[in-house]
Amino acid sequence: DAKTTQPTSMDCAEGRAANLPCNHSTISGNEYVYWYRQIHSQGPQYIIHGLKNNETNEMASLIITEDRKSSTLILPHATLRDTAVYYCIVKAGGTSYGKLTFGQGTILTVHP
């Protein structure tokens, strides 16, 4: 699986959009971009995934650049409960089947 690079930490004001970047310049054609987050003392939680088109669900939006070498996870209206470590993962196939390779992620802190 391709390697990902994320900033170590980011801050965001409550109610504002949080934009979390991820670089995956060595991504292959069959590899998807997945995002998980981990709130303190809990297991990771799936957020969203995509291949090349932008994706949106009830939690977030995922914007993937045309060359697929980077992506941005957008939390449109961040709340204090969105404070967590966010992991960008590149994985072959569009299902969860198989191992996930986590990096160190981005610590997002949402401030009042």
Interface positions with another protein (CB under 8 A):
41-46, 49, 85, 87, 94-105
Compare residues 14 and 52 and give the one whose CB is closer to another protein.
52
Q: What is the DSSP string of 29-64?
A: TTEEEEEEEE-TTS--EEEEEESSS-EE-SS-EEEE
Nearest CA among 101, 87, 71, 104 for reference residue 36: 87
| Maximum pairwise Cα distance, the chain | 41
Q: Nearest distance from residue 61's CB to another protein, in Å?
A: 16
Q: Nearest distance from residue 57's CB to another protein, in Å?
A: 10
Q: Nearest distance from residue 25's CB to another protein, in Å?
A: 19
CA distances from 40 to 29, 34, 71, 82, 84 (A): 34, 20, 24, 11, 7
Compare residues 42 and 53 and give the one whose CB is closer to another protein.
42
Compare residues 3 and 16 and give the one whose CB is closer to another protein.
3
Compare residues 17 and 45 and give the one whose CB is closer to another protein.
45
